[in-house]
């Protein structure tokens, strides 16, 4: 077969188009993949796209139609309002305006209010239209997710997983974008997710804070970090140490109450954690096991002594431990020898006595050539109690959720949400904010864009309307060169 060559950006003749379509069909390649679509050479931040506000509300609020209908008509920004009410029962988030199901139009849409079903609708359309312009799916978080204390309870790790499950390899994750997003053409077929709404949740997505962080790493590259909240709660992170020295933090959750925790980890993924009570000078321990997904199965807590500043290490293979702590009444250090019973998830303690040995360094752990340290400190706009880690190759980085979604900055948000933000947003009436953000090279959404009088120069990248089929909107977006 003679190869067909089309010049990028040049309009081909009718004969060439006919031949191109025939060849494309024979090769089972979409014809759109053989030539640049209009707008492909535009930088993403310069392009304009059709967008809807409260996309799930269809014709209940506005005149948007179904999600599939919106996408078919060229909309490339979809918004879902998200609640965590009922997560324990549904194992999923729900959509709705003021509450799950509120103002949701099910006509032509999923029958349920579950976020997973609505994401799958978008994903199925994207898979069937692989040459679509980059598609943004925004989650407007109507509830505070920071009080969801585990993956099972629907914290941000669970939300990340749901996004990855929905869009798979088509998902462009924020962590993989070092700066600008490139051109529209380079992002065709990709889905970007964006967090909006509850500012506290969006802030936690960017950083975590705590006190007294401690860490352990094993020869398998598994990492466990524990810390206290400063107000009585004990929290953990688990992660994996990568070939580049970066740690991918997998799971996060609350596991107990107390202060000054420490942790030891063996090569079988079994760990022993020790801490002091928040309200008394008593010492307690947990045994845990890390699963393949990074989740920890914890034993109940058991008291083993009184004292302060507990520290712990495996000393002989994966079963023998040494614990060193300080007396609650003076500077004398004491130690224990422990034997782990992994099956029973208990430790047998023996040989208690005074020691002149120093406390173990809880903030640093090594396994072979791998070394990881944890600390708290400021980091850019992040506060002094921000949890940070370092390895040999990595000087310093935040302990935080995998940056799967992008994080939106809105007028009035804290500096940490503006730091490095690509996406900006405000009401469509805030023309000064939209104009300044666009001139600053940001990707800007103006919501409730329900009148042509809200148009700015330059126009918001995403004029998010409740009436995408109205003639004034279609004319304005066509004149602005909206990309689809």
Q: DSSP per residue over 407-443, as a string?
A: E-EETT--HHHHTT--EEEEETT-HHHHHHHHHTT-E
pLDDT tens track for 152-185: 999 999 999 999 999 999 999 999 998 889 999 9
Confidence class of residue 449 from pLDDT cuts 50, 70 and 90?
Answer: very high
pLDDT at 283 over 60: yes
Integer Cα distance of 192 and 17 in angstroms: 31
The pLDDT, as a whole number, for residue 179 is: 83
Do 237 and 245 touch, CB atoms closer than 8 A?
A: no
* Cα dihedral 102, 155, 51, 46 in deg (nearest 10): 160
Residue predicted with more confidence, 180 or 107: 107
The pLDDT, as a whole number, for residue 26 is: 32
pLDDT at 120 over 50: yes
pLDDT tens track for 330-359: 999 999 999 999 999 999 999 999 999 999
Q: What is the DSSP letter of 436?
A: H
The predicted model gives 395-408 an average pLDDT of 98
Helix (H, G, I), strand (E, B) or coil at 134: coil
Integer Cα distance of 406 and 45 in angstroms: 14
**C-alpha angle 136-418-209 in degrees, rounded to nearest 5:** 105
Residue 16: C-alpha distances to residues 3, 13, 30, 297, 313 (Å): 12, 5, 15, 63, 72
Confidence class of residue 2 from pLDDT cuts 50, 70 and 90?
Answer: very low
The pLDDT, as a whole number, for residue 411 is: 87
What percentage of the chain carries pLDDT values higher than 90?
90
Q: Is this model's pTM higher than 0.85 or not? A: yes
Q: How many CB atoms lie within 10 A of CB 323?
A: 26
Mean pLDDT over each residue of the chain, to the nearest integer:
93
Q: Which residue bears the tokens 């349920």?
A: 112
Integer Cα distance of 248 and 427 in angstroms: 36
The predicted model gives 281-285 an average pLDDT of 98
The pLDDT, as a whole number, for residue 35 is: 58
pLDDT at 27 over 90: no
The pLDDT, as a whole number, for residue 9 is: 34
Q: For residue 465, report the phi and psi dihedrals to the nearest 5 degrees.
A: -110, 160
The pLDDT, as a whole number, for residue 316 is: 84
The predicted model gives 228-254 an average pLDDT of 98
The pLDDT, as a whole number, for residue 171 is: 98
User: Which of the residue ranges 58-67, 175-184, 221-230 would you say has the lowest mean pLDDT?
Assistant: 175-184
Q: How many CB atoms lie within 10 A of CB 268?
A: 17
pLDDT at 385 over 70: yes
Integer Cα distance of 22 and 13 in angstroms: 14
pLDDT at 28 over 80: no
Q: How many CB atoms lie within 10 A of CB 189?
A: 18
The predicted model gives 465-484 an average pLDDT of 97
* Cα dihedral 34, 37, 41, 42 in deg (nearest 10): -160
pLDDT at 67 over 50: yes
Integer Cα distance of 92 and 179 in angstroms: 32
What percentage of the chain carries pLDDT values higher than 70?
93
The string over 29-46, giving b where at least 16 C-beta atoms fall within 10 Å of a residue's C-beta and e elsewhere, is: eeeeebbbbebbeeebbb
The pLDDT, as a whole number, for residue 21 is: 32
Residues written for the chain: 484
The predicted model gives 183-202 an average pLDDT of 97
């Amino acid at each position: 077969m003679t190869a067909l060559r089309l010049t990028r950006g040049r309009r081909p003749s009718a004969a060439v188009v006919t031949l191109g379509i025939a060849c494309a069909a024979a090769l089972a390649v979409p014809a759109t993949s053989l030539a640049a679509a209009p707008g492909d050479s535009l930088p993403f931040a310069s392009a304009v796209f059709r967008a809807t506000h409260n996309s799930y509300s269809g014709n209940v609020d506005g005149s948007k139609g179904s999600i599939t209908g919106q996408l078919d008509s060229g909309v490339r920004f979809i918004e879902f309002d998200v609640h965590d009410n009922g997560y324990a029962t549904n194992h999923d988030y729900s959509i709705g305006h003021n509450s799950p199901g509120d103002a949701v139009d099910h006509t032509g849409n999923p029958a349920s209010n579950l976020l997973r079903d609505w994401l799958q609708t978008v994903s199925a359309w994207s898979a069937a239209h692989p040459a679509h312009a980059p598609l943004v799916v925004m989650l407007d978080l109507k509830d505070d997710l920071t009080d969801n204390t585990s993956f099972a309870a629907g914290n941000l790790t669970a939300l990340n997983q749901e996004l990855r499950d929905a869009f798979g390899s088509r998902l462009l994750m924020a962590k993989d974008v070092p700066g600008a997003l490139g051109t529209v053409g380079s992002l065709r077929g990709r889905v970007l997710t964006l967090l909006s709404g509850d500012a506290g949740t969006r802030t936690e997505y960017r950083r975590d804070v705590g006190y007294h962080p401690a860490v352990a790493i094993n020869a398998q590259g598994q990492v466990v970090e524990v810390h206290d909240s400063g107000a009585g709660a004990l929290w953990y992170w688990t992660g994996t140490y990568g070939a580049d020295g970066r740690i991918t933090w997998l799971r996060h959750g609350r596991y107990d109450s107390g202060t000054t925790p420490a942790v030891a980890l063996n090569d079988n993924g079994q760990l022993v954690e020790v801490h002091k009570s928040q309200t008394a000078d008593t010492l307690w321990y947990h045994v845990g096991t890390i699963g393949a997904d990074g989740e920890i199965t914890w034993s109940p807590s058991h008291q083993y002594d009184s004292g302060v500043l507990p520290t712990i290490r495996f000393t002989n293979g994966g079963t023998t431990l040494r614990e060193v702590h300080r007396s609650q009444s003076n500077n004398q250090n004491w130690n224990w020898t422990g034997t782990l019973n992994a099956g029973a998830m208990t430790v047998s303690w023996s040989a208690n006595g005074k020691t002149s040995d120093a406390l173990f360094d809880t903030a640093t752990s090594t396994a072979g050539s791998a070394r990881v340290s944890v600390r708290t400190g400021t980091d850019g706009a992040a506060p002094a109690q921000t949890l940070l880690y370092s390895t040999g190759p990595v000087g310093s980085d935040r302990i935080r959720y995998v940056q799967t979604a992008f994080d939106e900055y809105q007028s009035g948000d804290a500096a940490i949400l503006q730091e490095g933000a690509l996406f900006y947003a405000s009401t469509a009436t805030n023309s000064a904010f939209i104009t300044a953000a666009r001139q600053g090279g940001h990707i800007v959404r103006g919501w409730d864009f329900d009148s042509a009088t809200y148009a700015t120069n330059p126009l918001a990248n995403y004029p998010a309307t409740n009436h995408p089929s109205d003639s004034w909107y279609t004319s304005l977006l066509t004149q602005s060169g909206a990309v689809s």
